[in-house]
Amino acid sequence: MKNIILYILLHLSVVLYCQKEKFDFVAAYSLTYPINKVKNDEQFLLFMNSKKNMSYFIGTNNYVLDSLKRSGKIKNDDVMGQLKYNSAFNEEVINQSGNLIVLENIIGKKYTYSEAPDIKWKILNDRKPYNDTTIRKAEGFAFGRKWTAWYAEDLTLNFFPYKFTGLPGLVYILYDDKQNYYFKLTQFKRKNREILIPDSKKISKVTKTKLNTIRYNTNVYGTAQVVSFETAKERKDWIDKAKEIYNNSPRLDLE
């Protein structure tokens, strides 16, 4: 019940300000991650514009849900229909030559902040054949964890899943030192297409710290505002449980 209420709060629909953008490559990534020590998986899309050196990263569920809402196939008040496209990761990332615009929807309001990660990758001599190419190993520290990446030297597209930057080729495999979070390229192809992406100039700008605070307060205290409690202890127990759920929820960025 609590998770459904939280989901409703986080997915109240708003009119999103979007703009059309052309891309010439698209990649799909799978991500395995833990929830309560149980492995889960989710799919992501990475659209790339090689001429502008720009990319757009979004969860597949979020991308499909946005498309269905725009077309009217899922109504704003169709909670059960939207639950089919639930995502543990609601961040979207626009990467323009290593300068990132990160967007996130919280209680029907979209926020954005800018970030320019300076990941100090150590490129190693380890190489191995992978599918139809050869990939090379690199290690670096980012977002509170140590990461290992395997990238294609012969595919010099400087695009990456999530907020990663700084390697001289397309990433095929990416995982943290505990292998709790494991990205794997599942599809890559040249495909010219035009899609709608958020227009960050029309979205509320905040700092990364501020957005973390908004997200925390929403997850921990937001549901308590719409639930009736008979006692103060009942409310405290609810909030304590919400804190536990939030602190154990999957997060790619710990900073």
For residue 77, the model assigns a pLDDT of 65
Mapped onto helix, strand or coil, the DSSP state of residue 34 is strand
Mean pLDDT per segment of 10 residues, for the chain of length 255 residues? 47 59 97 88 96 95 82 69 75 94 88 94 96 95 97 91 96 96 97 91 92 91 74 86 86 90
What does each C-alpha distance from 133 to 53, 55, 75, 149 come to in angstroms? Answer: 22, 22, 44, 15
What are the structural domain ranges in the chain? 19-199, 206-246
For residue 79, the model assigns a pLDDT of 63
- What's the CATH architecture for 19-199? Clam (2.50)
Residue 9: other Cβ atoms inside 10 A:
17
For residue 14, the model assigns a pLDDT of 39
Tell me the pairing of strands 109-115 and 99-106.
antiparallel
Q: At what angle do helices 232-247 and 2-10 cross, to 10 degrees?
A: 70
What does each C-alpha distance from 48 to 25, 120, 169, 185, 220 come to in angstroms? Answer: 5, 23, 13, 14, 36
- Nearest to residue 170, comparing CAs of 154, 148, 181, 146? 154
For residue 11, the model assigns a pLDDT of 43
